[in-house]
Amino acid sequence: MANKTTTPSSSEGLAEAEKVTVTIDGREVAVPRGSLVVDAASSLGIHIPIYCAHPKLDPVAVCRMCLVRVGKMPRLQPACATVVSDGMVVTTQSPEVAKVREGMLEFLLLNHPLDCPVCDRGGECDLQDFAVRYGPQTSRFPITQKSHAAKAVVLSDKIELDQERCILCWRCTRYYDEITGEKELVLVRRGIDTVIDSFNGEPLTSDFQGNLPEVCPVGALTHRQYRFQARPWDLQRTKGICPECSYGCNINIDARDFEIKRFASRDNPQVEDMWLCDRGRYSVEKWSHGSRVRHPLIRAGGEVREVGVDEAVAEAARQLGEVLRLHGGGAIGVIGSPMLTNEELWLLQRLARETLDCHNCDHQLDELGNVSADEHSLGIAEIEDCETVVVLGAEPEANTPVLTLRLHKAQLRRGVEVRRVEHDASPASLGIKGKRLVGVIADEVHRAYAADMADALASGNTLVKRLTVTRGVNGRGAKDMGMLPTQGPGYSRVTGGKDGRQILHAASAGAIKALLLVGAETVLRGAGILAEKALAKVDVIIAIEPRAGIVANAASVVIPGHTYFEKRGSVTNVEGRVQRVSPALPPATAAPQETRVLAMLAAALGATGWGTGDPFEVNTMLSQAIDAYRGAGNGGRALWKRQGEPR
Amino acid sequence: MFKEIIKGMAITLRYGLSRPITVQWPEEQKPATPRHRGRHILHRYYNGLEKCIGCELCAAACPVGCIYVGPAENDPLNPVSPGERYAKRYEINLMRCIFCGYCASACPTEAITLGPQCDFANYRRERTVLTKQELLEAWPKFERSRGDMNQRGAGADQRSTGKSLNPGPSPRLAWEAQADETHEAPLPGHGGIPVNVPGVIDPSEESRA
């Protein structure tokens, strides 16, 4: 069980000083005042079985599984709800406690169906584990007299409920009360007939239902998407970052037979606080399907030829070199994608600016204007420290749904005032004055409004920090890496070029003669007919593309790319946190990773000093080039200098 | 000394004249003992439903990892096995199997047992991976297909019928073809399998048929 912090993780130095000493099973430990006995025990490595207690939820002490002897109290006390006091003596291992645990488990198992073999939770079930560890070996209750309830109740298109397996720990109802603030699951009927059901039998509509099976300690709530897909021991677990938005939720990618079966949360209190949204969690299927580009292709005169990587790179360099010689770098357009890693984006802009002498590079289509590091100075966990948070428009929460949970937590636990306003709300009308720390959250299209708002609110003692929600998993990294038309790595000033849409317009008008597209399929699809026109007009299209599509079908040279889950590298989330990703699936192609292909391409174009294109090597190079990334490491935030503030 | 030679030769002579215990295998076969651990069988209930519920406990218990189970959800109107779950894919790699019988011990529904057949030599590597089709008892006449229990051990349909000789798709080939869901077992002459596949034919097959 993860350490439960009764004091919020983001606050610094609070309650650090006050410690109390308790004795658990004869061993002394000093824990912060206000800790719970169960956490004090776990800091000593002593395990106390719990069902209803959850590190992110308030204690209720309904399951009675964690009863321990506390001092001279007349009865056993629930460890999950008892706060430690100085000099407390706790006994967790005695015949008395063992007998109570055995009795509790016998009660829990009275009507629990013995369908572990077909239960999706089998193998990672707390009831299974504790029954083996603390439970009675037999039951005195005849199996034929078990009372039965509804099985496989479909609560929504995402969640299935098995009322027989439920042990009534209330974790799911409390999750709705405390974490999302919605109330969709309720306890119905009383006594032995009590079951969990959706309110009025209506289907669940929450955007965060996928967390229910994870808070459920048994197999009562299960994912429909993961239903009977695998057993926990079949799964190969890889630490990763959710691919759906730029929030950077930490996930465990569970794969079986070269196929991703589910995304499970990996608790990072600084980012997602262990809660994922359904859009991210159930985006599993799209990674297992789709026709892939498996071999490098050269398309010439209506004929497509399968070639080796070396030949494809040489041909790409020849075609790009010719355009460069005849028309100059201004006739080349480079479009990346916010799905690429930092390493790839950094190499791509370097290839464009240094080798191809081209300033037309972008990672998306819209005109973003001037971007600066100031726009993401507010950390996600820092939201809880603000006094007021202003959210401009519905886009930030629509783009990164987990932000809603953080705002709710800040509101509920820390009393933060959350103001959801229109994009163009006037700062004066909000009436925010004399606050210490104010957060302004906007999406990247409306960043100018956020800047105005921040300028208007900042005064005297008020510190305003902004958070800009970017699109694409690495939208922030793409900007940090300088994959922008007017700004280079680290938001440095460079010679301006065309942005994404301008590149496509210029290409369809014939001004741009060559396109270098890396993973740009998703970006170009957003441009609709314009992209198709541009792709039809331009002769030299060099594409590094994982999937077949409009780009791979039009390109003169196609080099197979890798999907997000086949790569090594790092991605940066909305708040500038640099997190590593590593391959969860084997590559579908023998072609080397994009960083290597880009290095080969640069070498073929006559550039030197590019190294081998190994992602770690590129990472070292880019953190030397961009100051802020030097101290970020894996999981740290890139440290940007704030304007007018010495480092 | 002379006496000892006569004594020794007498033993030789006696065994030379008695009936030989060597069996002319494979033309002639010995009955397997009831608890012989040979090739696996997936059993059915008498109503034809599969006993296997796809729980993968056999795969978990297997010390060499030769069992692959791909579970799926039953259609309530047309179930494959009782309950919610069944094994959509069930494969055993006989090259890896050490015939320890742990899978049978682990099985909560007694769906898998080890039968009498012990000759698995093959010319095609793919064929040594048995698919569910090959492992499963025939139906509806599965009682008859089990044969004489005493003669054939505790087994089921292990007579080499033409059908059961078809190798299923190997996991690797199926994955490459990306068709493991809908893929039918390739027949000889298809999917890279030669037309005349040499197979081991059970001689008792003809007499019984």
Q: Which of B55, B88, B103 is the best residue to mutate to test the A interface, defined by the most A CB atoms within 10 Å of its own CB?
A: B55
Amino acid identity for residue B7 in this structure: K
CB atoms A257 and B85 under 8 Å: no
DSSP state of A552: H
CB atoms A117 and B175 under 8 Å: no
CB atoms A258 and B55 under 8 Å: no
- Give dist(CA A560, CA B59) in Å, integer: 36
The number of distinct structural domains making up chain B is 1
SS3 content of chain A, % helix, strand, coil (to 5): 35, 20, 45
Are A599 and A495 within one domain? yes
In a domain? residue A169: no
Structure tokens at A146: 């078990």
Q: How far is CA B76 from the centre of its chain?
A: 30
- The low-confidence residues of chain B, meaning pLDDT below 50, are 143-176, 178-183, 185-186, 188, 191-209
Instruction: Report the gap between the CA of A118 and the closest CA in chain B (Å).
Output: 6
Identify the domain containing residue B89 by its residue range.
23-166
B81, B50 contact by CB (below 8 A):
yes
Using pLDDT thresholds of 50, 70 and 90, give the confidence band for residue A3: very low
Instruction: Report the gap between the CA of B72 and the closest CA in chain A (Å).
Output: 5
Comparing CA positions, the residue from A341, A332, A338 lying closest to residue A359 is: A332
- Give dist(CA B207, CA B209) in Å, integer: 6
For the residues of A294-347, what is the DSSP string, one character each? Answer: -S-EEEETTEEEE--HHHHHHHHHHHHHHHHHHH-GGGEEEE--TTS-HHHHHH
In a domain? residue A391: yes
> H/E/C letters for each residue in A181-249?
CCCCEEEECCHHHCEEEEHHHCCCCCCCHHHHHHHCCCCCEEECCCCCCCCHHHCEEEEEECCCCCCCC
Are A485 and A536 within one domain? yes
**CATH number reported for the structural domain that contains residue A461 in this entry:** 3.40.1010
**CATH number reported for the structural domain that contains residue B79 in this entry:** 3.30.70.3270
> A121-170 pLDDT, tens per residue?
999 999 999 999 999 988 888 888 888 899 999 999 999 999 999 999 99
Using pLDDT thresholds of 50, 70 and 90, give the confidence band for residue A10: very low
> H/E/C letters for each residue in A30-71?
EEECCCEHHHHHHHCCCCCCCCCCCCCCCCCCCCCCCEEEEC
> H/E/C letters for each residue in chain B?
CHHHHHHHHHHHHHHHHCCCCCCCCCCCCCCCCCCCCCCEEECECCCCCECCCCCCHHHHHCCCCCEEEEEEECCCCCCCCCCCEEEEEEEEECCCCCCCCHHHHHCCCCCEEECCCCCCCCCCHHHHEECHHHHECCCCCHHHHCCCHHHHCCCCCCCCCCHHHCCCCCHHHHHHHCCCCCCCCCCCCCCCCCCCCCCCCCHHHHHHC
Are A40 and A89 within one domain? yes
Are A445 and A514 within one domain? no
A515, A333 contact by CB (below 8 A):
yes
CB atoms B83 and A115 under 8 Å: yes
Identify the domain containing residue A68 by its residue range.
19-93
Which chain A residues are Cβ-neighbours of B108 within 8 angstroms? 117
> A566-605 pLDDT, tens per residue?
999 999 999 999 999 999 999 999 999 999 999 999 999 9
In a domain? residue B16: no
Are A506 and A621 within one domain? yes
In a domain? residue B1: no
Task: Give the end-to-end CA distance of chain B in Å, rounded to a whole number.
Answer: 58
- Picking from A449, A469, A489, the residue at the C-terminal end of a domain is A469
- Picking from A34, A61, A93, the residue at the C-terminal end of a domain is A93
Instruction: Report the gap between the CA of B173 and the closest CA in chain A (Å).
Output: 13
Share of chain A above pLDDT 90, in %: 80
Comparing CA positions, the residue from A147, A142, A141 lying closest to residue A111 is: A147
Average pLDDT estimate for A100-108: 94
Q: What integer pLDDT is reported at residue B199 of this predicted model?
A: 39
DSSP H helical ranges for A247-308: 278-281
Structure tokens at A293: 């580009």
Q: Which residues of chain A have a Cβ shorter than 8 Å from any chain B Cβ?
A: 115, 117-118, 122, 151-152, 227-231, 233-234, 257-258
**CATH number reported for the structural domain that contains residue A588 in this entry:** 3.40.50.740
CB atoms A118 and B83 under 8 Å: yes
Are A520 and A486 within one domain? yes
Beta-carbon contacts of B124 under 8 Å, excluding residues fewer than 6 positions away, are: B167, B193, B197
Using pLDDT thresholds of 50, 70 and 90, give the confidence band for residue A295: very high
- Picking from A60, A93, A126, the residue at the C-terminal end of a domain is A93
Beta bridge partners of A186: A197
Are A514 and A568 within one domain? yes
DSSP state of A527: T
- Give dist(CA A151, CA A166) in Å, integer: 10
Instruction: Report the gap between the CA of A219 and the closest CA in chain B (Å).
Output: 14
In a domain? residue A159: no
Q: Which of A114, A115, A116, A118 is the best residue to mutate to test the B interface, defined by the most B CB atoms within 10 Å of its own CB?
A: A118
Of the candidates B55, B73, B175, the beta carbon closest to that of A117 is on B55
The position carrying tokens 């299974």 is A128
> A462-473 pLDDT, tens per residue?
899 999 999 999
Q: What integer pLDDT is reported at residue A460 of this predicted model?
A: 74
CB atoms A257 and B83 under 8 Å: no
CB atoms A257 and B54 under 8 Å: no
- Give dist(CA A251, CA A280) in Å, integer: 10
In a domain? residue A151: no
Are A625 and A498 within one domain? yes
CB atoms A117 and B171 under 8 Å: no
In a domain? residue A192: no
Are A494 and A607 within one domain? yes
In a domain? residue B50: yes
Structure tokens at A338: 């916010």
Comparing CA positions, the residue from A263, A253, A249, A252 lying closest to residue A402 is: A249
> A472-483 pLDDT, tens per residue?
999 999 999 999
In a domain? residue A108: no
In a domain? residue B66: yes
Are A542 and A595 within one domain? yes
pTM for the full predicted model = 0.85
In a domain? residue B69: yes
In a domain? residue A443: yes
Are A525 and A557 within one domain? yes
The number of distinct structural domains making up chain A is 3
Amino acid identity for residue A489 in this structure: P
In a domain? residue B143: yes
Instruction: Judge whether residue A646 has pLDDT over 50.
Output: no
CA angle A99, A103, A107 (to 5 degrees): 170
Least confident window among A11-15, A397-401, B100-104: A11-15
In a domain? residue B146: yes
> B189-202 pLDDT, tens per residue?
554 444 444 433 34
Burial class (CB in 10 A: 0-12, 13-18, 19+), A418: middle
In a domain? residue A476: no
How many other C-beta atoms lie within 10 A of the C-beta of residue B93?
A: 18
In a domain? residue B101: yes
How many other C-beta atoms lie within 10 A of the C-beta of residue A183?
A: 11
Are A499 and A602 within one domain? yes
Using pLDDT thresholds of 50, 70 and 90, give the confidence band for residue A642: low
**CATH number reported for the structural domain that contains residue A33 in this entry:** 3.10.20.740
DSSP H helical ranges for A89-219: 95-108, 126-134, 171-175, 212-215
